[in-house]
Structure 1
Amino acid sequence: MAVGMDSPANCILYIRFSTKRQESGASRERQLEDCYAYAGRQGWTVTRVVEDLGRSAWSGHHLNGGNLGKLADEIRAGEIPQGTIILTEKLDRLSRMESRVTRRWMEDMTDAGVMFATVTPGKLHDRDTFGGSRLTDFLEILLGAKAANDYSENLSEKVTDGWEKKLKRQKTDLITRKVPGWITVTKDGDRVCNEHAATVVKIYQLAADGRGVRMIAKRLNDDKVPTWGRTATWDQSNVRFVLTSPAAEGDYLSGGANPGRVKNAGVFHPGYYERAVPADLVAKARAQLAGRKLTGGRETGKAVNLFSGLIVCDHCGARMYLRTLPNKTRVYQCSAANQRRGCPYNETFRYEPFEEAALDVVLTRALDDRHFRRPDDSLSLVHQVAAQQKAIADADLLAKNAYAIYLKHPDNQMAEDQFNELSAALKTAKAALGPLEDALAKARGWVSPAEHARRVMEIRDAIASPDKVIREAARLKVMDALKGVVAEVRCNAVDTQRGEPERTFALTLVGGMIGVKFDNNGMVIADYDLTKNLEVVTLPDGTAVDMAPGLRAGMLGGEQRLENALDAVLRRQEAAASSSSLTGARA
């Protein structure tokens, strides 16, 4: 629908471009300028800017590891106020994945109460866009931003009627009785999910959590999850089929299996099946599959290498890969040196001592509330808290009215009894709110500094748990957290800081603001922390100088992602210090 609202709204800007080359151009500045100007013309208040710089929308990486995916988690958790508008330059800034993925992801977000707006064209998409009342807007998303923009300019009433009939026919006509194992065809020809649909959702959830197809198949077999069809056990091929099948989203692809034998092969029929998997979960799972090289390949399911994608050779810049020696010792080695591609330093670096020592330094700074968030629980609790607050307001009003009546008729026993009854009801309603608010805070991951320190230690213990399920879940959580704060780890085979050449790991955080160097046995041999210099310094002449702006600009270069990461690390450090002081005081 055309943009225009009766009252001012809060607005979150979303900025994205795909390649590092665009980072040096004007893409970011243009998007920001256009979005700010557009929001100003509409009278919207910009409360936040979310950026995914250098992330492709074709693969869906921004929906998973990117900041848009994190914003979506906040929306699902009820942390973004309903009625908030997500404003972006064009629709393809949100996603260039297949149009049905974009549509269904937006549908899930609008169901949670937010709206989407685009500068070009000036459109506002809300829940009604996907409810059938605005077919033109629906087609714009279905067909893709550019094609839909050209299409909608010439869309006549006759064509609209034709599309309505076509969409209706696709949802009712049975094309084939050959359906995936999680779909059943009813007597009336409807295609509905059966008991195997829960297994499909489980596969997508495991993939979204970072597990590869091999590890998913092993988990399903270990849990004795039944297959369907002629295959007795799960393997990589049938897991991959589920993860790539359009039918998981409810779509049917004519001739997908045998395109040479089908006249109209490659034609999509959206909404042909009942959808088994939510759109956001599909996007996350498939983004993980597409990004396997960035997150550790086939071993990611086990999360063996917590620093996957972050550790490089200090001599040539090549990736350090993790290998296992015959004696079962795990070591890093330069991939270029191992493959004889120019790097002469083929020394190995011990993994276990480094992991143990590095986590002592990094873990408290890396794990924050979002890593303990339970979005599925929190959205329901948001509604319960709101309902209870309304009940309290209603009870308070009734009690005040009853008290006013009682003051006018102090001798009326009925008035006094009614006031006492309503006062008791108000007290009960207020008492019920506290536990709900506590449950919501925990579902959102909000706890005291002392409680956060305790749960970080629990995660630390869990990553070495003998229980495979607990260990994998904890290591995947830590892996995700490390990518938010660790800038890089550099392995030097001939470090001479202590005199004799030795092998060292140099770990830096958030744009180089914090750094620690370890030897090959995990001992700290040097460190620095520039965050301690982010304070006001008094010069000899008495002049007070704030060191923070200059130091931030010099180290972070004004990059918003690093600024946000640094602020988050500072908050966690302060919370950890507060927790330590409280513990010491109790002792």
Structure 2
Amino acid sequence: MQAICYHRYSSKRQDRGSSIERQVERTGDLCARKGWDIIETIEDRGQSAWKGDHLSVGNLGKLRARIDAGLISPGTILVVENIDRLSRQDYRTARRWIEDVTDRDIIVAVHSPELILDRHAMSGANIGAMLQHLLEANRATAEGNRKSSMQKATIEKGLKLAREGVVYSPRAPAWLIAKKGEAFRLNEDRVATINSIYEWSAAGLGYETITKRLNATVPPWTQGWKDGASKWRIGYVRDILSSPAVEGEYHVRTGPGRKPTGEVIRSYYPRIVEAELVERARAAIRTRMGSGGAKSGEAQNLFGGIASCSVCKGSVGRTLTGNGRGRRYAYLECRNARYGICKAKGKIRYDHVEASVLEKLLHLALDDTHFIAPDDVAPLASRLANARKRAEELTQEAANLIAVLRKLPESAATLTALADIEAEKAATVAEISKAEIELDIARGKVSPGEHLIRVNDVRDLLTAEDDEARFAARLRVKAAFQNLIDGIEFDPLRGVATVRLVSGLGAMHITSDGRAGFLDLVREGRDYSDTPLAKDFIRRRDAKKPRAR
């Protein structure tokens, strides 16, 4: 007789366990003892028997469709480890499913306890098999209910501890070392890598570029659950850059599919990335999402996504118009007006707006973060973390030796060891200072005068002949303006563009003939300490302005 073996487990995490292997062994054993030929093996991985999805849309559901279509020969045996593999829903659901397939002369065979369910058994003609099936189905449902209740109680107990700040599980993000009941410990090398990922994102690198850089420089921490390959993956990099855990937050998830409950436990994990860097990295991601992909018209419109029409509030885009003599000019124009939706027709020369904004705002928009050297940050951050860790170890070693000297003040060996430790500690402290300076430079921190020089260098690149250099510079400037400019409102009736800065820091008006005026709205005496962008803006504003163009 021909047999089809069916195996299933509930969650993808069980893929690393022995669930499938055990089921294969048991269904194979039953077939061998009965002399059945296995013609097919079907698996549903990560399908819960509580939801019953596998009965209709999983591979078992596909088998059912083949049975209904008459593609499976009558007398074929469907072999499972136990009734649980078919369903943990109520008894009637499982019974109806088995009745439907046995009505088509398909036999269901169960390994534990051993059951043979055919049309006669399900009709009650074989009362012994029917009673056994009833008992087993009820047992499976009861067992499932018991496990579910125990699991829910365990989860709630763990969440109660988490709300009290107690580490209730050894499971933690890959950059943390967790032991139940103890405080989280940091894996310093991995923390440095996480910060480098955020720095790279803030500097404008995309998921793919960051992933390639990691695979070239950092050994992977995880394995793919499907192929078992050890490598950095774009999805994992994306998860890291969106993870609330880097800010110390535990977002509670529970139930099938680990769906979020909406509860957030703050400060459960130690924060490993500063809030300002998190915001810069994620703001850069949002900016890239609206950039239109590779090339993106060489980022010709530095104000894409932030310009709107004052009349209809629709978006304003960059358009090209010829003058009939072979020359073409770029304009900012309401998109709705182009399609006849907005009646306020009017344009303003794009080059006038760009030149005015560059002159007044470029040195304010390009902060230190736009001059980060991503290739240097990761090794320097790792070197600094290791030096700080060694300094802490030396401090503890010195304290231990001092405790010994209190008991044995004449110990020459201890005095020598203490002197060696103090010498190494002094060298380590010097190394920390050096690494901090080098890391600041790699992160783009320079004097106001040096900043103005590099800003002018970037402005020169905006019109460079080299396509790649020009494209990179325009993307950098576009990202900087996206962070500084809250919006540009174009009035097509007056031919005026109004540029508003974030946090009410300032505004500028640009007329159709290119005249521009900047209004500084920073209020003296106001505390801007809670707004890092505003603090940086004021610092750069107070520096000498760049050379005239």
The alignment's TM-score, normalised by the length of structure 2, stands at 0.44
**Normalising by the residue count of structure 1, what TM-score does the alignment of the two structures yield?**
0.42
